[in-house]
Copies of this chain bind each other. A is one copy, B any other.
Amino acid sequence: MNRILITITAVVLCAASTFAQLDPVKQTREYRIANERKLLTSFVEMLAMPNVASDTANINRNADYLIGSMKQRGLNPRLLKAADPKVPPVVFGEYFTPGATKTVIFYAHYDGQPTEAADWTGSKPWEPVLRSASLEKGGKTIPFPRTGETIDPEWRIYARSASDDKAGVFAILTAFDALIAKGIKPTVNIKFFFEGEEEAGSPNLKEILEKHIDLLKADAFIVCDGPVHQSGRKQVVFGVRGDVNVDLTVYGAKRPLHSGHYGNWSPNPALLLAKLLASMKDDFGNITIKGWNDDVEQLGPAELKAIADAPQYDEQLKRELGIAYTEGGGKSLLERINLPSLNINGIKSGDVGDRARNVIPTTATTVLDLRLVKGNDHIRQVAKLRKHIESQGYYVIDRAPTDEERQKYHRIAKFNHVPGSYNAQRTKMDLPISIAVIAAVQRTSAQPVVQMPSLGGSLPLSIISEALGQPTISVPIANHDNNQHAENENVRLQNLWDGIETFAALMTMNFR
Interface residues of A (CB under 8 A from B): 113-116, 136, 226-227, 241, 243, 245, 247, 251-268, 270-271, 273-275, 277-278, 281, 283, 285, 287, 319, 321-328, 331, 333, 336-337, 339, 341-361, 364-367, 369, 371, 401, 403, 406-411, 455-458, 480-481, 483-488
Residue of A136, A366, A480 with highest tally of chain B CB at under 10 A: A366
- Which B residues are in CB contact (< 8 Å) with A339? 264
- Which B residues are in CB contact (< 8 Å) with A324? 406-410
- Which B residues are in CB contact (< 8 Å) with A406? 322-324
Residue of A114, A369, A403, A480 with highest tally of chain B CB at under 10 A: A369
Instruction: Choose from B245, B270, B486 the contact partner of A347 (Cβ within 8 Å).
Output: B270
Whether B455 and A261, one on each chain, are in contact in the complex, defined by CB atoms closer than 8 angstroms, is yes
Whether B277 and A270, one on each chain, are in contact in the complex, defined by CB atoms closer than 8 angstroms, is yes
Q: CA–CA, A484 to B226, complex, Å?
A: 49
CB-CB under 8 A for A327 and B358, given A350-B344, A350-B345: no
Whether B346 and A356, one on each chain, are in contact in the complex, defined by CB atoms closer than 8 angstroms, is yes
Instruction: Choose from B260, B277, B285, B287 the contact partner of A458 (Cβ within 8 Å).
Output: B260
Whether A261 and B226, one on each chain, are in contact in the complex, defined by CB atoms closer than 8 angstroms, is yes
Whether A344 and B349, one on each chain, are in contact in the complex, defined by CB atoms closer than 8 angstroms, is yes
Instruction: Choose from B136, B285, B319, B457 the contact partner of A258 (Cβ within 8 Å).
Output: B457
Whether A364 and B350, one on each chain, are in contact in the complex, defined by CB atoms closer than 8 angstroms, is no
Whether A346 and B350, one on each chain, are in contact in the complex, defined by CB atoms closer than 8 angstroms, is yes
- Which B residues are in CB contact (< 8 Å) with A407? 319, 322, 324
Whether A485 and B358, one on each chain, are in contact in the complex, defined by CB atoms closer than 8 angstroms, is yes
Q: CA–CA, A353 to B406, complex, Å?
A: 23
Q: CA–CA, A66 to B285, complex, Å?
A: 57
CB-CB under 8 A for A275 and B283, given A255-B136, A324-B409, A371-B259: yes
Q: 21 A-B residue contacts at CB 8 Å?
A: A115-B357, A245-B356, A247-B352, A253-B322, A256-B487, A257-B486, A262-B456, A263-B341, A263-B369, A265-B337, A270-B366, A271-B278, A274-B275, A343-B358, A343-B360, A344-B349, A345-B352, A345-B359, A347-B349, A352-B366, A359-B486
CB-CB under 8 A for A352 and B358, given A243-B260, A253-B322, A343-B263: no
Q: CA–CA, A256 to B323, complex, Å?
A: 13
- Which B residues are in CB contact (< 8 Å) with A252? 323
Whether A263 and B410, one on each chain, are in contact in the complex, defined by CB atoms closer than 8 angstroms, is no
Whether B364 and A347, one on each chain, are in contact in the complex, defined by CB atoms closer than 8 angstroms, is yes
Whether A456 and B321, one on each chain, are in contact in the complex, defined by CB atoms closer than 8 angstroms, is no
Instruction: Choose from B273, B283, B327, B350 the contact partner of A274 (Cβ within 8 Å).
Output: B273
CB-CB under 8 A for A343 and B410, given A252-B323, A369-B259: no
Q: CA–CA, A410 to B263, complex, Å?
A: 32
> Closest approach, in angstroms, between the C-beta of A435 and any C-beta of chain B?
26
> Closest approach, in angstroms, between the C-beta of A267 and any C-beta of chain B?
6
- Which B residues are in CB contact (< 8 Å) with A353? 247, 348, 365, 367
Whether B266 and A321, one on each chain, are in contact in the complex, defined by CB atoms closer than 8 angstroms, is yes
Minimum CB distance partner of A319 in chain B: B407
- Which B residues are in CB contact (< 8 Å) with A409? 324
Instruction: Choose from B265, B351, B354 the contact partner of A326 (Cβ within 8 Å).
Output: B265
- Which B residues are in CB contact (< 8 Å) with A254? 136, 321-322
Instruction: Choose from B253, B268, B328, B371 the contact partner of A260 (Cβ within 8 Å).
Output: B371
Q: CA–CA, A241 to B278, complex, Å?
A: 31
CB-CB under 8 A for A281 and B271, given A321-B253, A327-B266, A365-B352: yes
> Closest approach, in angstroms, between the C-beta of A237 and any C-beta of chain B?
11
Q: CA–CA, A366 to B336, complex, Å?
A: 29
